[in-house]
Amino acid sequence: MQVVPTKACHSQKKMPEKKYKRILLKLSGEALMGEKEFGVDTNIISSIASEIKQVHDLGVEIALVIGGGNIFRGVSASAKGMDRATADYVGMLATVINSLMLQDALEKMGIFTRVMSAIEMKELAEPYIRRRAVRHLEKNRIIIFAAGTGNPYFTTDTAASLRAMEIHADVILKGTKVDGVYDRDPMKEPNAKRYEKLQYIDVLKDGLKVMDTTAISLCMDNNLPIIVFSIKEPGNLLKIVKGECIGTIVTA
């Protein structure tokens, strides 16, 4: 696999303790599977929670959006004949399952969290209210946004972009299985080239697999940077928050 050499991001000046005050971390459901073909690996959940705790201990305000593809994928079900809207609602419920499991892992580490759902289910989660979400962040609680946008035909990528802008996050961090954005699938093409930096328009024009086009367009219109990185590599999340060049950054 060909990797583009990474240039130094900073001068020799001492790096700040943290570059970002408020982040939105987007995780795919598949990131929770580990080596399994389906479901959740509790060891992976605990490992991700530990990574998040390191960043939380720096005083960074953290919100999360988790996909549900490890349990159910609406688009795939729709392709097999299921009504698309119904399939998407089932997918939203899958994100709630993942959110509750991550909440449990974080709270076992002594971190106060809130799951906020776009679909009302008061026995399990708070309803999503923007001002309340911001208040939770100001009180140093981690928020997990569940059930996407609450609407079919919109992905959790779009939900992540929307929520990040609503809470005025500094950046979207997208944790994946690979260490950035490539021009081809690095799992299938050993000579795939990794990008260090990209512009939103290039992602849209070249159809690169960063986030879906709606999410990219939202970020482009509001100049919200996206960093795509490997969540599998221990310490990556903390390094990014401290300002190190990890993965691929997408900006204007």
Tell me how many domains the chain contains: 1
Residue 129 has pLDDT above 90, yes or no: yes
Please compute the mean of the pLDDT values over residues 228-247 and round it to a whole number.
94
Highest mean predicted confidence (pLDDT) among 45-49, 175-179, 204-208: 45-49
pLDDT in tens, 44-93: 999 999 999 999 999 999 999 999 988 887 667 776 788 999 999 999 99
Q: Is 1 part of any domain? A: no
Q: Retrieve residue 74's tokens.
A: 């609406």
Residue 145 belongs to a domain with what CATH number? 3.40.1160.10
More confident residue, 171 or 185: 171
Mean pLDDT over the full length of the chain: 90
Q: Is 116 part of any domain? A: yes
pLDDT in tens, 189-200: 888 899 999 999
pLDDT in tens, 137-175: 999 999 999 999 999 999 999 999 999 999 999 999 999
pLDDT score recorded for residue 37: 80
More confident residue, 13 or 159: 159
pTM attached to this predicted model: 0.89
User: Would you say 24 and 166 are in contact if contact means Cβ atoms under 8 Å apart?
Assistant: no
Residue 4 has pLDDT above 70, yes or no: no
> Phi and psi (nearest 5°) for 120?
-65, 125
Q: Is 8 part of any domain? A: no
Q: Is 5 part of any domain? A: no
Residue 11 has pLDDT above 70, yes or no: no
Q: Is 69 part of any domain? A: yes
Q: What residue has token string 């900073």?
A: 10
Cα separation, 136 vs 69, whole angstroms: 27
Domain region containing 98 = 22-251
